[in-house]
Chains A and B, each alone.
Chain A
Amino acid sequence: MAKIFIYPATSLILSDLVARYGHTPLSSAIAVRERIQTAGIESVPLQITPEEPKKGLRWAAVEVPSGVRGRMALYGPMIEACDAAIVINDADLAFGCMGCARTNELIKYLIREKNVPRLDLNYPKNEEEGVRFVAAIKRFLAEMGGGE
């Protein structure tokens, strides 16, 4: 089982397809779960404390807004841990954890820099694109050693 970073990291579709074809999706939910299941100082709603933007300094300099650094504290470790990535490039309506365009630009760049196998897609707009979309993901994941 390979660890596949999915973009948008909140994607239901990518989360499902990656798991369906036998791999582990690295998604926002995993990072959020880790925080809300860890004891510490209360910080509603996500248990992201003011310490997280400081941890984010590993990926973004201090002059970068706190919201970017806080989000990078979620995604940075996952990008470092991933074996491959699937990126949907027209995900313009993924909010919350994926709600900051500057963070999203940095995430995509760091994935590219990491030089792991990467599949770039757009959301399918019709049934035929749906077939190509699913087939491309299935093929990509099969090459990562998985199978349904």
Chain B
Amino acid sequence: MTEYVPKSAGTVTKYIVVESPSVTPAELAIRAYEVSQGLIIKETCFGLAINGKEDEVNQLITQLRTLDPDHIFIKDRGFPPGDPRRCRANLGGARPGFHGIEYETTVLPYVSHGLEELRSRDAGDIPAPQNPLETKKLDVYTLKKLIEAQEP
């Protein structure tokens, strides 16, 4: 059994994913470096990973979001950037969580569209989505109505 001494204690890491027609991950990185003030910034295929003290990371994120608020998405990450335990170069393949982000990036355009729309519309005026737990199958009465509504 080997003793474990953490290296990144007291810091946080956040992923910044950009799915934007106007800001590329590279541009986001350049902007981040400009205002980073000593934070660790690593470019990834989705965007950036930023590590440092929580307040400083949050400040940087707030600034970066302004570049394209509806197309920049942020989440926490457990590991600091480039940690060999999670790094594809060491594991041979991507860590499983990578595929989860891969999947959600396919949904991001719809979420971005929602964010854009809500700039001009009130959330209270928009109908609620179907609750997946209350999705019902077509009942016979509705089915009958549909059949009767058909032109002969």
- Stretch in B22-30, B35-43, B128-136, B144-152 with 4+ CB within 8 Å of A: B128-136
Cα-based distance from A38 to B9 in the complex (angstroms): 7
Residues of chain A from 40 to 55 with CB closer than 8 A to chain B in the complex: 40-47
Number of interface residues of B (CB under 8 A): 56
Interface pair A135/B114, CB less than 8 Å apart: yes
Interface pair B4/A139, CB less than 8 Å apart: no
Number of CB contacts from chain A to chain B under 8 A: 166
Cα-based distance from A28 to B13 in the complex (angstroms): 13
Against B, the Cβ 8 Å flags (1 = close, 0 = not) of A1-28 are 0000000101111011101000001011
Cα-based distance from A93 to B104 in the complex (angstroms): 9
Using a CB–CB distance below 8 Å, which chain B residues touch chain A?
1-6, 8-13, 15, 17, 73-79, 83, 85-86, 91, 95-97, 99-101, 103-105, 107-115, 117-118, 121, 123-124, 126-133
Using a CB–CB distance below 8 Å, which chain A residues touch chain B?
8, 10-13, 15-17, 19, 25, 27-33, 35-47, 89-90, 93-99, 120-127, 129-136, 138-139, 142
